Amino acid sequence: MRARIPVLLLCGSLALAATGCTVGGSADSGAGSGSGAKKTLVVAEWTNPSAIEATKKINAIFEKEHPGVTVKLENAPTAAGAWGTLTNSLLSAKSVDVLAQFAPTPAKFPPADTGLKSSGSAALITAGQITDLSGQDFMKSYDPVLQKYGAGYNGGIYGVVAAEYIGHGAVWYKKDLLDKYGVKVPTTYTEFVAALKKFKDAGKTPIFVAGKDGLQGIVYGGAVQQLLMKGQTGADSTAVSDQRAKDFWAGTKSWNDPLYKEAATKYTDVMQYIEPAASGVAQLTAPGVWAAKSDDFPFFLDGSWDGNTIKEANPDLKFGFFVMPATDDAANNRIPVKADLTWMVPTWAPNKDLAMDWLRTFSRPENYKLWLDATGSTSTQPGVTSSTLPWMDWLNEHSDERFVALTDPWIPAGAPPEAAGPDLTKMTPFGKQSVDDALKGAATAYQKSVGKK
Amino acid sequence: MTTCPFGTRRTRRWIPWLSIAIPGIGWLVFGLYPSVATVGYSFTKYSGLPGTALNVCGLCNYRDAFTTMLPDVAGSLKVTIVYVIAVTLLQNGVALGLAVLLKEKRPLYGLYRALIFMPQIFSVAVVGAIFSLLLDPYSGPVAHFLHSAFGITSSLLGSTTLALPLVIVVNVWMFTGYSMLIYIAGLRHIPKEVYEAGALDGAGRWAVFRHISWPLLAPATTVNVFLTAMGSIGEFALILVLTNGNFGTRTLGLSMFTTAFGSNSQLGYGSMLAMLQFFLTLVIGGGLLVVLRRREVSM
């Protein structure tokens, strides 16, 4: 009988190990609600070094105000699917309280008659997995129109849109270099091209861009945004965006329309001024390379989120930011602002009340300002001015010219990249396709992917 | 009752079953279940996010792949086949050459073999990051060398003509060491007497390789060709890190990964692409096995 005991113990231990149980010991309460005084609030955010540092500071403030609570910050880079994997893991384990997501916007909620299904955070919202925050007191601090557009669905608001960035048309410039050649920040397309020509004639390479990761799309995308908004008020942008999606779906508008041809032609004109091997430059190294070369590359195509990265690469560089003017009427050359990081609270969050408290702490003007200054984001709280970072001067001066960036038409899963517009890696100068062929290819790809051809 | 180190004779009977049961459970949970789930998901429009609806739609994803999405699927398939053929031929050619050079037991040869094998143990993310930096057209040493030595300016991984060959070269660099070791094992297995007989017949180095080493390496060639082809069919991680599928490098595996796990993931459609990849693997793998086995028998 005595000999059987070790066998039984062995079997029991192995069986427990196989089923993931532990023997004699208590599991760490982790994010669980836990019955003890100590609680762990789990906040997840993708890796943006400046934002992570700022969030850690806010977490420290929160922990000080909530004795016994520890905030665990989970993060992973968005590259190579790491962030998606972390998100899925946290959602599967139901072990996250506050989760950062990209603002879904109406583009991610296609109407039922399209037959398309929501993806990403929109799928979570439609499945009832995300808490409606519209009744929360801290939501009053934020711009209601933007919150509704960024995270609204069926009358509820399912997240706090905390960050907005400028991607379309985003251009960084070297202040000293522009001063040296007597070039002012351009306000019209003709002025912009003239500035590029002036630098080229002076033996400089006017534009630096990370073409390997598609940043050249900043020019085409910026032109499309401004051309579509021509003659409209900033407040019309959501309606323009919605109508465009419907028109594309109905087949009455396509990538082959004159507006897109104008944008693509301007894109190819501007691309004459980029560095020769731009298509091989990665976004990871581009800000550093551009910043280090202070006597060349007066302009750099990159989103407004990279200001701190540029500053770190060359602290002595005086640089600024503006949005590329795509028309010759300065009044039409406005700033498309894209809703970005959005905090969401799952309906099953283990520490839901604490999660709301954390969002309350985050939303307090002094804390939110701290976060804005670190990330370079524009403010989504009317009561808090945007970042006072030196390179934000142009944006702050033109803050009344902003509009919510138009989103892409509805596109089915698995559609080729061309369905979302001309593939700029195939179109000249990176590829061999002409503007006409690239636009025709994009129009056909879209129509085929939605089953209209 | 007779006892033994692991209990009685009666209880000892269960030890082998228990030993099988533990890895068996692991295989069921981490091997069979995901495979069966992939088949199931391929008939849905599931986003892949836990807690969201499955949206069962029958053959909708397969229908889309062969109708509206056919140009994209066919394009990815073409790139995949080119990639598999190039990697398989190049990797086996280089590995065989290195094996012939380094098969002997001589001073420092062990170190050379270890150095050639070393990339195999690096993670794909590390290899991707290293080569992205090496091949950067502005800050990378390769571009500097090409420019200073030949006056050539190239965007390297951003070139539609060079991107796919460069990714293939990186893949071969990473995994050649493994193939080399299998070939070395094969070469060392060939009896010395056969070589001596060849020498007596006056066979030169090339004749010895062609008529002795190469035919007798058939089993090692079968293993290497099969493993290389199967490994490269599913490759996506290296391509993701190096080019993100741009500039003509979008394989079926990469399409599957970006669709199933991207920021707007649609696991249903991605699972369907995984099934297409499975059938492709079955056809190529099965075909290779038949051909290579026949070759072994005939030799």
Domain limit, last residue, from A317, A348, A377: A377
Residue A124 CA to residue A345 CA, distance in Å, equals 11
What is the per-residue pLDDT for A453? 61
Q: Are strands A164-165 and A335-339 parallel, antiparallel or unpaired?
A: antiparallel
Contact A40, A29 (CB under 8 A): yes
Q: Is B238 on the interface with A (CB under 8 A)?
A: no
Taking alpha carbons only, the member of A120, A129, A37, A17 closest to residue A78 is A120
Token pair belonging to A87 = 């998100």
Q: Do A85 and B261 touch (CB under 8 A)?
A: yes
Same domain, A198 and A262: yes
Spans of chain A, pLDDT less than 50? 1-35
Same domain, A193 and A297: yes
What is the per-residue pLDDT for A387? 66
Same domain, A151 and A228: no
Token pair belonging to B122 = 């690096």
C-alpha torsion sign, points A375, A381, A384, A390: positive
A30-89 tens-digit pLDDT: 333 444 568 999 999 998 888 899 999 999 999 999 999 999 999 998 876 788 889 989
Q: Among residues 10-29 of chain A, which lie with CB inside 8 Å of chain B?
A: 11, 14, 18
What is the per-residue pLDDT for A9? 44
Contact A166, A303 (CB under 8 A): yes
Q: Which domain holds residue A305?
A: 170-337
Taking alpha carbons only, the member of B206, B240, B216, B21 closest to residue B128 is B240
- Non-local (6+) Cβ contacts of A279 within 8 A are A211, A212, A425, A430, B155, B158, B159, B247
- Non-local (6+) Cβ contacts of A146 within 8 A are A161, A164, A339, A380, A404
Same domain, A82 and A219: no
Same domain, A144 and A192: no
Same domain, A221 and A319: yes
Nearest residue of chain A to residue B256 (CA atoms): A414
Partners of A44 in beta bridges:
A74, A99
What DSSP character marks residue A364? Answer: S
Residue A411 CA to residue A381 CA, distance in Å, equals 32
Residue A21 CA to residue A19 CA, distance in Å, equals 6
What is the per-residue pLDDT for B68? 83
Answer whether residue A417 is part of any domain: no
Contact B192, B182 (CB under 8 A): no
Residue A168 CA to residue A101 CA, distance in Å, equals 20
**CA A409 to the chain's CA centroid:** 17
Same domain, A157 and A96: yes
What is the per-residue pLDDT for B217? 94
Average pLDDT, chain B: 91
Answer whether residue A392 is part of any domain: no
Query: How far does A88 lie from chain B, in Å, by closest CA?
Result: 6
Answer whether residue A30 is part of any domain: no
B208-260 tens-digit pLDDT: 999 999 999 999 999 999 999 999 998 999 999 999 899 999 999 999 998 88
Same domain, A145 and A184: no
Residue B59 CA to residue A40 CA, distance in Å, equals 44
Query: How far does A340 lie from chain B, in Å, by closest CA?
Result: 13
Residue A72 CA to residue A54 CA, distance in Å, equals 14
Answer whether residue A181 is part of any domain: yes
Contact A381, A172 (CB under 8 A): no
Q: Is A445 on the interface with B (CB under 8 A)?
A: yes
**What total of structural domains would you count in chain A?**
2
What is the per-residue pLDDT for A235? 87
- Burial class of residue B108 (count of CB atoms within 10 Å of its CB; 0-12, 13-18, 19+): exposed
Domain limit, last residue, from A311, A337, A363: A337
A326-370 tens-digit pLDDT: 999 999 999 999 999 999 999 999 999 999 999 999 999 999 999
Answer whether residue A93 is part of any domain: yes
Same domain, A50 and A140: yes
What is the per-residue pLDDT for A201? 97
Contact A324, A192 (CB under 8 A): yes
What is the per-residue pLDDT for A389? 80
- Interface contacts (A, B; CB < 8 Å): 172
Answer whether residue A17 is part of any domain: no
Nearest residue of chain A to residue B247 (CA atoms): A425
Answer whether residue A329 is part of any domain: yes
Identity of the residue numbered A418: E
- Contacts A344 to B, Cβ<8 Å: none
Same domain, A191 and A329: yes
Token pair belonging to A187 = 């306000």
What DSSP character marks residue B153? Answer: -
Q: Is B135 on the interface with A (CB under 8 A)?
A: yes
Q: Do A277 and B160 touch (CB under 8 A)?
A: no
Q: Is A415 on the interface with B (CB under 8 A)?
A: yes
Between the two ends of chain A, the Cα-to-Cα distance in Å is 77
Answer whether residue A1 is part of any domain: no
Q: What is the CATH number of the domain that holds A369?
A: 3.40.190.10
What pLDDT tens digit does each residue of chain B (299 aa) get? 455 566 777 777 888 888 899 999 999 999 999 999 999 999 999 988 888 888 899 999 999 999 888 888 999 999 999 999 999 999 999 999 999 999 988 889 999 999 999 999 998 988 998 999 999 998 899 999 999 999 888 999 999 999 999 999 999 999 999 999 999 999 999 999 999 999 999 989 999 999 999 999 999 999 999 999 999 998 999 999 999 899 999 999 999 998 888 667 789 999 999 999 999 999 999 999 999 888 877 76
Same domain, A328 and A347: no
Q: Do B246 and A425 touch (CB under 8 A)?
A: yes
Identity of the residue numbered A191: E
What DSSP character marks residue B6? Answer: T
Cα-only R_g, chain A = 25
- Is the bond into A276 cis (omega within 30 degrees of 0)? no
CA dihedral A163→A169→A170→A174, nearest 10 degrees, is: -160
Same domain, A310 and A188: yes
What is the per-residue pLDDT for A37? 66
Token pair belonging to A378 = 């524009």
